[in-house]
Structure 1
Amino acid sequence: MNIQPLTVRIDQQQIEDLKNRLRHTRWPEELPSAATETADQGAAWPTGVPQRYLRGLAKQWAEDFDWRAQEELINSFPNFSTEIEGQKIHFVHCRSSHPGAVPLLITHGWPGSFLEFLHLIEPLTEPEPGVQAFHLVIPSLPGFGLSTPLSTGGWSAGKIARAWAELMTRLGYQRFVVQGGDIGAAVAPEVARHAPERVIGVHINGSLGFGQQVDDETRQALSPLEQDRLRRIDDFMREEFGYIAIQSTRPGLIGAALTDSPVGQLAWILDKLKAWTFPASALPDEVLGSQWILANVSLYWFTRSAGSAALVGYASAEWGAPPISSGVPTAAIQFAHDVGIRQLAEQSNHIVRWTDVTDRGGHFAALEQPAILLEDLREFLASLAR
């Protein structure tokens, strides 16, 4: 089915151009509201990434970060590409040596990438004896990273799901599990809606749907934990919705700005990493590690995918009525930062497992709490009749 091996090799000239741009960044004057704040004080972040913190990571990116080492890591795994509906799709495909391994398709979100899952490949494909193993497929969303350039539009969650089902067909997997967070949490249930007879189960970290209107009677009947999640959704819509408004209506504007400024791309992503990791008091590199942050931002930079990722992730999103349940068994794990509410999720999904982790973990579960995430996935799969 025209599946080709893929090797990542960024031209040295592009690497030198990045370093040169970083060294010659035209920095703005600090805003008065943030001028007296230090990088580790949360009060500085509502106006954007504090310059002290941003300058430090930009300096590290220019002087200490080794992209070639990241390429070596990426290329140590089997990378491939194929064309589906006219679009180049990159994916990592690792088969387990264990008998009884189950095919697992994992989808990332924004502002992440397939790099979120590389450290999970070995524990998923080659676990210790007696632990469920998986054949692993990790695609890059259309318009993200190595699935660029974007050749066609209209990549809604439903269209991506159809492409993922086709990808699994090409790889010879008739039955499989789907997992995802962020955009992946929208795509995974859509794969089940498209091909319910093929999907063994859907596993999500984070919300299944977002921003639903809740009447006063429903709100009052919720648990204190769920009421707190609704409060945080309200706070998000009031204080943080700006990036969605811009990316969903002006993805080309984002592309033009961030493709020409590496510090702009770094700041745009750092802002959400700070907002969505746990605990709220920690800096992004303290939670995710500066090496992963810079590798992820470098992937966006070298592939010039800021605009296409915004188009696919937000301008193509389906914001209409809740979809119909696929009937496929679905599990959701909610870490401390997450805002999923079971009775709302059950309106469109066949929820059979719901796990609340209230004291740890954020939006990037695979990086923040990988052991808990994998344990929940395996326990969910063990409960299903296959």
Structure 2
Amino acid sequence: MAALEPFLVDVPADVLADLSERLRRTRFPNEIAGIGWRHGVPLDYLREIVTYWLDAYDWRTHEARLNRYQQFTTTIDGQRIHFLHVRSRHQAAIPLFLTHGWPGSLVEFVEVIDPLTDPADPADAFHLVVPSLPGYGFSGPTTQAGWHPRRIADAFGQIADRLGYERYGVQGGDWGAIVSYNMAELRPERVLGLHVNLMNVPPPEGEPAAPPTAWATREGAAGGGYEAIQGTRPQTIGYLLDDSPAGLAAWIIEKFHEWAEHPGDPLALTADQLLTNVMVYWVNRTGASSARLYWERRQAPETMVPRRRVSVPTGVANYPGELVRSLRPHAERYFNVTHWTELPSGGHFPAMEVPAIFVPDVRAFFRPLRC
């Protein structure tokens, strides 16, 4: 069994100096006057982001915040995988995996780590495992094809083994939801509960799907443009993402604006939150490799929904700003749904957008499953 290697975030000074130089030399495109967000990120907005990044943003502050938490790397199938491992001081704590998606990172969960590990009621405590998806962030780029959601789920199960966790919960949104589905299907005897904030399964043949969400109605076919590019030409878009920090920021931050509950400007998230997430991609050169997961999905579409009904108790948190959703009867064809909540606010990134709503729902789902 491969070792768990302690890890600290320590970005070399020359990487930060190179970033500053690239930002100073950004060549901005022109823009049609008055077009707003209809063509993507507005020029004035991105100029403001780049200026703030250069003049006010302090990566070392956010690096130090990440380093408050114990971190490890380990190697599985030749791929390095990084994760936070944050143990609660409470004896009743249960292990819980929190898995991010694209264009997020473990930064999505920074605001919920302390409330989940050290709650007012010790009976609600969790030991947290917060992995960086293979090809994302501090896991580093993938070096071989085949890292689809089911393979990732199997690798995360091996991390649980290496940590000595016999029973654990899983939680995720976006890709994190798909990986969590697969973790529950692969190891139903080990996963005590599955909680997701994105449920997207097909309806039975001949039945209509859930009505379009506000996002789908608003964005239409344009909303899937990023997926078409990353799912077919991840290497080509990768030259932009790993060479131009302004380009990477535009590609990623656009989605935080589009996918939040209330899209557009101003956004509830701060510039520091947005840029710290972008930095995790930039300093690790994982713009291209993160895009590959969309290509992998097209090679292995069977990994997107369970092959058989998952017996693990399943909780679904429905946020009003989510991109897509499924009807409960359709979800119940695939999952043992025991918890279905309609939450008052939040979008695609609820742990960042509305941590005070996200945390109680996670606690409420797992409370009856503790034993």
TM-score bucket (shorter structure): over 0.9
Aligned to 1:87: 79
Q: In 1, distance between residues paired with 2:121 and 2:345?
A: 29
Q: In 2, distance between residues paired with 1:138 and 1:77?
A: 10
Query: Structure 1 residues 262 and 213 mapped into 2: Cα distance closer, same or farther (>3 Å)?
Result: same
Aligned to 1:250: 233
Give the TM-score, by structure 2 length. 0.93
Give the conservation status (yes or no) of the 8 Å contact 1:176–1:198: yes
Aligned to 1:315: 295
Matches within 5 A, 1:60-71: 60-71=52-63
Q: Deviations over 1:256-312 (max 9, x none)?
A: 1111111100000011111100212443xx311110111111111111101100102
- Tell me which moved more, 237-246 or 161-170: 237-246
Match of 2:279 among 298, 320, 327: 298
Q: Which amino acid in 2 is paired with 1:319?
A: P
Question: How many matched pairs?
Answer: 364
Matches within 5 A, 1:212-231: 212=202, 218=208, 226-229=210-213
Aligned to 2:330: 344
SS at match of 2:72: strand
1:237, distance to aligned residue in structure 2 (A): 5.2
Q: In 1, distance between residues paired with 2:39 and 2:75?
A: 41
Give the conservation status (yes or no) of the 8 Å contact 2:215–2:259: no
Q: In 2, distance between residues paired with 1:234 and 1:214?
A: 23
Matches within 5 A, 1:85-234: 85-209=77-201, 212=202, 218=208, 226-229=210-213, 232-233=215-216
Q: In 2, distance between residues paired with 1:120 and 1:297?
A: 19
Query: Structure 1 residues 214 and 129 mapped into 2: Cα distance closer, same or farther (>3 Å)?
Result: closer
Query: Structure 1 residues 264 and 232 mapped into 2: Cα distance closer, same or farther (>3 Å)?
Result: closer
Q: In 1, distance between residues paired with 2:315 and 2:42?
A: 38
Aligned to 1:6: 7
Give the conservation status (yes or no) of the 8 Å contact 1:19–1:63: no
Aligned to 1:278: 261
Q: Which amino acid in 1 is paired with 2:368?
A: S
SS at match of 1:103: strand
Q: Which amino acid in 2 is paired with 1:326?
A: V
- Tell me which moved more, 127-136 or 288-297: 127-136
Q: Which amino acid in 2 is paired with 1:2?
A: A
Give the conservation status (yes or no) of the 8 Å contact 2:258–2:264: no
Q: In 2, distance between residues paired with 1:385 and 1:10?
A: 39
1:86, distance to aligned residue in structure 2 (A): 0.7
Give the TM-score, by structure 1 length. 0.90
Asked if residue 289 in structure 1 is aligned to residue 270 in structure 2, the reply is yes
Q: In 1, distance between residues paired with 2:321 and 2:205?
A: 23
Query: Structure 1 residues 56 and 328 mapped into 2: Cα distance closer, same or farther (>3 Å)?
Result: same
Q: In 1, distance between residues paired with 2:93 and 2:264?
A: 40
Asked if residue 261 in structure 1 is aligned to residue 244 in structure 2, the reply is yes
Asked if residue 366 in structure 1 is aligned to residue 351 in structure 2, the reply is yes
1:238, distance to aligned residue in structure 2 (A): 1.5
Aligned to 1:328: 312
Give the conservation status (yes or no) of the 8 Å contact 2:98–2:171: yes
Percent of pairs identical after alignment?
40
Give the conservation status (yes or no) of the 8 Å contact 1:108–1:140: yes
1:347, distance to aligned residue in structure 2 (A): 2.4
SS at match of 1:155: coil
Query: Structure 1 residues 364 and 68 mapped into 2: Cα distance closer, same or farther (>3 Å)?
Result: same
Q: In 2, distance between residues paired with 1:21 and 1:55?
A: 14
Q: In 2, distance between residues paired with 1:194 and 1:289?
A: 38
SS at match of 1:227: coil
Aligned to 2:18: 17
Query: Structure 1 residues 215 and 118 mapped into 2: Cα distance closer, same or farther (>3 Å)?
Result: same
Give the conservation status (yes or no) of the 8 Å contact 1:279–1:360: no
1:384, distance to aligned residue in structure 2 (A): 2.9
Q: In 1, distance between residues paired with 2:186 and 2:85?
A: 22
Q: Which amino acid in 2 is paired with 1:204?
A: V
Q: Which amino acid in 2 is paired with 1:12?
A: A
Give the conservation status (yes or no) of the 8 Å contact 1:106–1:178: yes
Aligned to 1:354: 340
Could you list the runs of 5+ residues in structure 2 that have no partner in the other structure? none
Q: Deviations over 1:37-78 (max 9, x none)?
A: 5xxxxxx21211000101001110111111111111111211
Q: Deviations over 1:343-381 (max 9, x none)?
A: 222222221111112x41000010111121111111111
